[in-house]
Structure 1
Amino acid sequence: MTEHKESPTDSDPQDVVRHLAGQLKALRSSRGWSLDATALATGVSKAMLGQIERGESSPTIATLWKIAKGFACPLSVFLSSAPQPSTELVFRSATELRAKPARDDMLVAPLFPYDPRFAFELLELSLLPGYVRHSDAHATGVTEHVIVLSGEMEVLIDDTWHRLGKGDAVRFAADRPHGYRNLSKASAVCHNLIHYPAGTATE
């Protein structure tokens, strides 16, 4: 059995910015898309896309999701390097991987980036006090699982906010509008496992 320990390359803010810029360029190149075509597919302006590619702008998580949806790829593509396909045993550290990939008040640790063998990505999310995010619908069939590790947070499902405390969990269809918020005075930390059915995500 092969053991693999991931290095904390994603924890440095500049590394995150460079990775995001490089991935966006690589995805555009692989599809032969211009910035205009990418803007049309993602709903993100050509100006913003150009700024992201040049490392001049930090997008919101909502913008990253729009880009990911436009490319039909998982969110973690923009957060971390692809997993090593030959490894069977992998150790990851949230402390080492935790970073602020966007200008939102949320930290993200891509514990297990998307792997087509398993069809999911597992993220640790830290919602800072006062954080609110409304998310557009993801691709058809995408499902999210949220497990609260500490603090309190709320998840918007079918236009209703549901409170979750430490140890609470919820699974819901993410192919419809949904949201997250933390109205308390302390950070809330959760695991977010996002499952992509066959045909809804590419690397």
Structure 2
Amino acid sequence: MSDVQLSTMTDKSDAILTQLPARLKSARTGQGLSLDAVAKLSGVSRSMVSQIERGESSPTIATLWNLTRALQVDFAGLLDNTQSPAQIEILRAAEVPAIHNLGSGCHIRILSPPEEAGKHEVYELLIDEGGILDSQSHTRGAREHLTIIQGTAGLQSGDAESVIHTGDTARYPADVPHAIKAINGPVRAFLVVQDA
């Protein structure tokens, strides 16, 4: 490798390291997170996070990985010296994955990306009249947010029961057995599942 190439690579590395503290701090403050919150989320000590943001300490790859996961920012993008153009990811209707064998008379379209599975999932529910989505307990602390777009649904969460109508949103524990049933016609709804 020539001296010119080596010098250019070193210059790029130096530029990335120079911008890294500001990018990390910007990602943290942009989400309204304190140093303590980032420390708790990442497992990196508060003092180390502060030192990295001030440019007083260079993080290891493992530390940087933990910080980017805690801040939910792209690891490669944080290190990239060029601004990438805004991107729009489109999943056409025919390409949306669906589940048809869960419950009775229930068709589920999976709207959230695969990497969100087990954390924050979004579904469109289409339930035929009399159909039911009967679910077992999710992980401890899990909750669901159900918004009825069209129709009327009977909702059960543990021992609690309710009826919700078009435009209503119900929030309820999902770490107990729960069920959604279409009554008086079909139901179309959006379901958000949040695991603790």
TM-score by length of 1: 0.47
Give the number of the structure whose alpha-carbon radius of gyration is greater. 2
The structure in which a higher percent of residues are helix is 2
Higher RCO, 1 vs 2 (CA within 8 Å, ≥6 residues apart)? 1
TM-score by length of 2: 0.49
